[in-house]
Amino acid sequence: MGKSIVAATPVMKQFMNIKVQFSDAIVLFRMGDFYETFLEDAEIAAKVLGIVLTRRANGKAADVPLAGFPYHALDNYLHKLVKAGHRVAICEQVEDPKSAKGIVKREVTEVVTPGTLMSDKALSEKSNQFISSLNFVKDHVGFAVLDPSTGEFNLGECSIDEIKESLIQFSPSEVVLRESNIYSLSDWYIELKPFVTKIDDWIFDQESSYRTLIQHFNLKSLKGFGCDDFPLGISAAGALMHHIKTNLSMNLDHISTITPVLSEGVMGLDGFTMKNLEVFQSLSTQGTHGTLVACFDNTLTAGGGRIFRQWLHRPLTDKKRLDKRLDLVLGFTTKKRVLQSIRKSLKNSVDIERILGKINQGKASPRDVVGLAEMLDKIPAWKRQLVDSSDTALETFSSLFVDVSNVVGKIQATLNDEVPIQLTQGNIIKTGVNEVKEISTIACKISIN
């Protein structure tokens, strides 16, 4: 905070108490139908968002700067603040103003950073958005990378000289470090220029991190994930999960697995090679036109595009894994009718992974949930086509689909076929369904693990 401000009104006293706790963030303070910002936050918000900076009476104290926007426009503005390099603390009214005695109770319900931003406007459909944590111990580094929007969670270890190349595979938009780490002259920071967050050193304690992870996955050990041989990676992963859950108040229940990053069986491509081969970015235009990924990516879904990019980042060299992948490709190219039928059904499909992420955060719209049901309802037809193909690879592939008919049935029985984007627009719940049910409650109970 800049110059000292005397808070002379109850609302300003409440805001100042919250701002002290989140001094490194812009506080979006919910007041009725608006999110307001005050003081230096207001000056920053007005400049970044292009909104009007005004002043608010503060009792006997001097007027304070004020800038705000309607609460329903949060998705239009939040990503702009975060992309500009700011943490944002969202402070909500946590009680009904009509029943409040005195000033309405408010609490910060979420802190958003570049690595945890889940707004549709901020995410690229076919690219992941990762947040990473690094655990430096002597000449080795444990690292973890997580995409909160899809639930993809990875950990690994490497020498300190290799960490830049390890991070380039994921290009995290944010990196979490120990408070004691110095990073400004590190080659990985100079190359990637991520948003950096520092947390207390003790959060990287290996035993605490291991306990955090096994409690999250409800397991006795991480052996089933193949992660037990990566103690530094486990420390980084546990610290990252603790930080996101505790410091950022984000729910991570949709994360159901963690995958070790292995160097065996994959081709190591350094940043210099990726850049000069123009795999993801053109040297001349700095865009994607003419790049390898632009030429070969014919995927129809966002999830398919993300997987394709992961394959390009880490090409396989293990013959067994390659043969398995190629057998599946051969099956689809041989059984073209099956391929064409499934591709046709995937057109205009929703992004299942990110919808599940939004459901877990209680941020899914009615259309998201209906779209999810429509997508999942296609699985039985896909399985039949794959089994009837008489191709061994396709038949084996069909066994990977799980039965989610209970989820589809619950959604279809509860929600109207045609629903609006916003909850407040109504006409969401079918006639005859218990009136106290709301879409947010239904969505949070959906599980297709």
Do 255 and 151 belong to one domain? yes
Which CATH number does the domain housing residue 188 bear? 3.30.420.110
What is the predicted pLDDT for the residue at 373?
Answer: 94
What is the predicted pLDDT for the residue at 95?
Answer: 87
Q: Is residue 5 part of a domain?
A: no
The residue segments making up the domain with residue 416 are 346-445
Q: Say how far apart CA 444 and CA 404 lie, in whole Å.
A: 16
Domain boundary among 196, 231, 260: 260
What is the predicted pLDDT for the residue at 62?
Answer: 61
Do 141 and 255 belong to one domain? yes
Do 352 and 333 belong to one domain? no
pLDDT in tens, 240-263: 999 999 999 999 999 999 999 988
What is the predicted pLDDT for the residue at 234?
Answer: 97
CB contact burial 38-71 (16+ within 10 A = b; e otherwise): bbebbebbbebbebeeeebebeeeeebbbbbbee
Q: Is residue 150 part of a domain?
A: yes
Do 253 and 351 belong to one domain? no
Do 207 and 277 belong to one domain? no
pLDDT in tens, 421-443: 877 778 888 888 875 444 445 44
What is the predicted pLDDT for the residue at 449?
Answer: 38
What is the predicted pLDDT for the residue at 448?
Answer: 40
Which CATH number does the domain housing residue 308 bear? 1.10.1420.10
What is the predicted pLDDT for the residue at 443?
Answer: 47
What is the predicted pLDDT for the residue at 1?
Answer: 52
Q: Is residue 174 part of a domain?
A: yes
- The rounded average pLDDT for each run of 10 residues, N- to C-terminus, in the chain (449 residues) is 61 92 95 93 96 76 84 92 94 86 90 90 88 96 96 95 92 96 94 95 96 96 93 97 94 93 85 86 82 91 93 92 95 96 92 91 89 94 95 95 92 88 81 61 44
What is the predicted pLDDT for the residue at 156?
Answer: 96
Domain boundary among 313, 343, 373: 343
Domains in the chain, number: 4
Cα 94 to the chain's mean position, in Å? 25
Q: Is residue 373 part of a domain?
A: yes
SS (H, E, C) the chain: CCCCCCCCCHHHHHHHHHHHHCCCEEEEEEECCEEEEEHHHHHHHHHHHCCCCEEEEECCEEEEEEEEEEHHHHHHHHHHHHHCCCEEEEEEECCCCCCCCCCCCEEEEEEECCCCCCCCCCCCCCCCCCEEEEEEECCEEEEEEEECCCCEEEEEEEEHHHHHHHHHCCCCCEEEEECCCCCCCCHHHHHHCCEEEEECHHHHCHHHHHHHHHHHHCCCCCHHHCCCCCHHHHHHHHHHHHHHHHHCCCCCCCCCCCEECCCCCECCCCHHHHHHCCCCCCCCCCCCCCCHHHHHCCCCCHHHHHHHHHHHHCCECCHHHHHHHHHHHHHHHHCHHHHHHHHHHHCCCCCHHHHHHHHHCCCCCHHHHHHHHHHHCCHHHHHHHHHHCCCHHHHHHHCCCCCCHHHHHHHHHHECCCCCCCHHHCCCECCCCCCCCCHHHHHHHCCCC
pTM for the complete prediction?
0.86
